[in-house]
Amino acid sequence: MLRFLKIICMSVVCLTMLSGCSSKQDKVEQIKTNQLDQSETDDKTVKKESENTGEEMLDLSNAFNSINGCAVLYSPSENKYSLYNKDLAEQEVSPYSTFKIISTLIGLHNNIIKDETSTMNYNGTQYLNSEWNENLTLQKAFQTSCIWYFHHIINSVGEEKVKKELSELKYGNCDVSEWEGSMINPYEELNGFWLGSSLKISPYEQVEILSKIFEGNSFYDNENVEILKKIMLIQDNKEKKIYGKTGSSSNGEAWFIGFTEKEQQREYFAIYLNDSLQKEQISSSVAKEIALKIME
């Protein structure tokens, strides 16, 4: 009899354990279901936000004239992006000299330079670009795209602060790990992480960064942004102003990025060319011509 009672007790315990396991399994399944539902909700939210922003695909093949490249335009007033060659527009690549827009702000923000008249002394090296072979102001250095001037700014600020500011801006991949660059140019001071090296950003992201800065949504103060804006001006026909910066490499890559301003309304743009088959014909001047044609 005692043995019979023990068997019954053990059976009850086992049933209770199985019931508990089943209950736990049910809870796990319920949690998974809830997570899946939440994931689907999050996906719908992201999709909805994307729809609210709005994207329009453009056919700009005539403007690019068989050159492989892309265009991104953004109108804050309409909250709309217009794209040509979307796949390339979303690909992260080296910013090259378009990064001088950011290094100008970094220099101003950290008091390495004060304004467009801030001058740095030439070290006597005979560079191929003769316009770099003299003492240069910020304005002249920006307009001639002088690498040694901005290399000095970045080195003076230092890796830690530069990395921090790029991260706060969410500038591309924010990667400054190859601080000294990949030596694509013969002199140390003509190289850096932004020149065919670790730092990369997509044309789409370039436009986002420009909008963030000039719409007053970054941590850079208005006075410094106005100094940058002054040295970026390339065309003023009274009705419309165009601001921009070029960048290029010798392997068929070229940039022209900036914005137009008309009656207090701005439209941001990034033109990027990547055509190794026609690299002899690819330059920042060509990217600029395409941009001006599109922005007419």
* Average pLDDT of the residues in 15-32: 42
Residue 24 belongs to some domain of the structure: no
Residue 279 belongs to some domain of the structure: yes
What residues make up the domain containing 144?
A: 52-294
Residue 90 belongs to some domain of the structure: yes
Residue 214 belongs to some domain of the structure: yes
* CA–CA separation, 201 and 166 (whole Å): 11
> Per-residue confidence at 53, pLDDT binned at 50, 70, 90?
low
Q: Is 228 exposed, middle or buried (0-12, 13-18, 19+ CB in 10 A)?
A: buried
Residue-wise pLDDT for 183-228, tens only, equals 999 999 999 999 999 999 999 999 999 999 999 999 999 999 999 9
* Average pLDDT of the residues in 280-286: 96
pLDDT of res. 18: 37
- Answer whether 180's CB lies under 8 Å from 189's CB: no
What are the CB-based long-range contacts (under 8 Å, 24+) for 184-193? Answer: 184/249, 184/250, 185/147, 187/125, 187/127, 187/148, 189/123, 189/125, 189/147, 189/148, 189/151, 189/152, 190/127, 190/147, 190/148, 190/151, 191/147, 191/151, 192/147, 192/150, 192/151, 192/154
Question: In 3-state terms, what secondary structure has residue 267?
Answer: strand
Residue 23 belongs to some domain of the structure: no
Residue 157 belongs to some domain of the structure: yes
User: Which amino acid, residue 269?
Assistant: F
Q: What is the CATH number of the domain that holds 225?
A: 3.40.710.10
Residue-wise pLDDT for 223-255, tens only, equals 999 999 999 999 999 899 999 999 999 999 999
Residue 46 belongs to some domain of the structure: no
Could you give the number of structural domains in the chain? Answer: 1
- What percent of the chain lies above the pLDDT cut of 90? 79
Residue 42 belongs to some domain of the structure: no
Pairing type for strands 265-274 and 253-262 reads antiparallel
